Structure 1
Amino acid sequence: MKEYKTQAIAPKTQPFRKEAFEKMYIIIIRWLGNSGLFMNSRGTCVMIDPVLIGFDMPMLIDMPISPDNVPYLDSILITHCDNDHFSRETCKALNAVCDTYHTTKYVAELMTEEQIYGGCGHDIYGTFQINHIHVQLTPADHAWQNELENQNRVFKFEDFCGFYISTPDGSIWVVGDSRLLDEHLKMPVPDAILFDFSDQSWHIGLDNAIKLANTYPDTNLILSHWGSVDAPDMDAFNGDPKSLVGRVVNPERIRVLAPGESFELRRI
């Protein structure tokens, strides 16, 4: 008999609605489940890798907001083409209320094919502005597709990225899905990291996640890529916050947020 693996499940979803998009004088970030993030910085509202509808696997959580409750977005940022990050249905549903989409050049091409308007493709280390927010693409190593047979495309290093997001009130680094790179250990110290700790060969791996966390010993760790997708046999979705206990310096900075729960980002 096949052994069934148990999964750590995120805390119960805390839904949010239009009020979360109002102008404020702080930064509020909300985990959207899996690798999604919502940020309101002084009224500039951005989502990163939102998967609000249309995912093709069973979920362990409820989404904290539906596209029809999103009043506007200044931008959506997409790290790469995997459908648990680039949700075509979500991006299409939000196209009427979103001004721009920022991503890699390859994913911008996919957006054009999908008739998702406003896609801007960038090089790794390229920068752009969203009002007062400064964003730089950071490198990611995640071309797992090249290990598959009968691929009609060779995926390139520059098809995958993270985002280092800087505001007047604080910074957050969305590393993206990636093996650990030397560059990741030499970043300007962020105030928070959207922290993937998946113990999987095309992700950072648990030991390297600990190494990354302890390179920035005061940075808030907002746990992601865990507790959301009902896939007990897929290591990429099966991080467990308990695996970090006793291994992360200053463990009080580990943020086990519920989907939709608000977290005020401040400078460390």
Structure 2
Amino acid sequence: MPRQAKAPPTQPFGADAFAPSGDTTLRWLGMAGFLINSHGTTMMIDPLLRGFDMPIMIEMPVAADDVPHLDAVLVTHSDNDHYSVPTCQDLADVTDAYHSTRYVATLMTDQGLPAHGHDIGDHFTVGAVRVQVTPADHAWQNDSSGASTRIFQPEDACGFWITTPDGTIWAPGDSRLIPEHHLRMPAPDALLFDFSDSEWHFGLAGAAQMANAYPSTPLLLHHWGSVDAPDFPPFNGDPQSLLGLVENPERINVLAPGQPYRLQRSPSAG
């Protein structure tokens, strides 16, 4: 059986992670999720804290019941490892707003969530943070017989370019490589980095190409080490596979779920 890489042991956190602060801190939630606290503005990207339909190998670093408040939840697309309906419902009482594409926002509204739908290229603000909606190519359902009766559109999935007082964070979402977009952005100060051999993700070669387009940007690995799925490429990425592919490999950050990462503006990033 293929080797399944597993994330480091979880570092649980509580209410202190949501408190006002003098900087911007990211915490990987496991799966594809992140918590961002920027000077007290708090948001989660693609949180999945319970209710997934495949075996999970990690302990989640926080339970929804222990989240005191979120200014926003950002969701990149409708797959259930990104738009976790149970998690979003669990967080509804403490979350001011949910942001996603127009399609995903309709799903959220149907669930009674205070959702805002956006077009690709739109901007919105969350407290001290400015967010731009970026393109993604992840309409895998159209290539998979029986996956959906709906025809998915390019604008149904997205990424987020997040500008904080301490620098920029790029969460490109699940996507095939779009060279004219993914290789031509300003260098972010942190890249939430999805890497695997999945054909409906960047692919390992595409992920390396993207990383090397921004050779000084720290790479915060995610979408790996959380699901017991050694034969399923979207979840079975191994950080060891990046060695020899990524320039300046010391910038590869193999975070434990819950481990804090302090954002710092890079002199060469913009």
TM-score by length of 2: 0.96
Aligned equivalents of 2:128 and 2:15: distance in 1?
Answer: 22
Please give the residue correspondences for 1:85-96 in structure 2 after superposition, counting only pairs within 5 Å: 85-96=82-93
Shift, 1:148, TM fit: 2.3
CA contact (8 A) 2:132 2:162 kept: yes
Query: Which residue, 130, 141, 145 being the options, matches 1:145?
Result: 141
Gaps of 5+ in 2: none
Mapping of residues 1-268 of structure 1, within 5 Å: 4-115=1-112, 117-150=113-146, 151-182=148-179, 183-268=181-266
1:168-187 deviations in Å (ceiling 9; x for gaps): 11110001000010211111
Q: Shift in Å at residue 109 of structure 1?
A: 0.4
Q: What amino acid sits opposite 1:114 in the alignment?
A: Q
Tell me how far 1:118 sits from its aligned partner. Answer: 1.1
Q: Is the partner of 1:96 in helix, strand or coil? A: helix
The whole-number CA distance in structure 2 between the counterparts of 1:225 and 1:149 is 24
- Letter in structure 2 aligned against 1:120: H
1:134-171 Cα shifts (integer Å, max 9, x gaps): 00011000000011224321000000000000011111
Q: For 2:144 and 2:6, locate their aligned partners in 1 and report how far apart those are by CA, in whole Å.
A: 30
Give how far 1:114 is off.
1.7
Q: TM-score, normalised by structure 1?
A: 0.97
SS of residue matched to 1:172: strand
CA contact (8 A) 2:38 2:165 kept: no
In structure 1, distance between residues paired with 2:43 and 2:216: 25
Mapped to 1, the partners of 2:163 and 2:217 lie a distance apart of 14
Alignment: residue pair count? 264
Q: Distance in 2 between matches of 1:28 and 1:258?
A: 14
CA contact (8 A) 2:5 2:236 kept: yes
Alignment deviations for residues 63-108 of structure 1 (CA, whole Å, 9 cap, x no partner): 0000000000000000000000000000000000000000000000
Q: Whole-Å Cα distance in 1 between the matches of residues 131 and 108 of structure 2?
A: 20
Give the fraction of aligned pairs with identical amino acids, expressed as a percent: 56
Q: C-alpha offsets along residues 197-255 of structure 1, whole Å, 9 cap, x if unaligned? A: 11110000001111000000000100011000111110110110000112211111100
Q: Which amino acid aligns with 1:208?
A: G
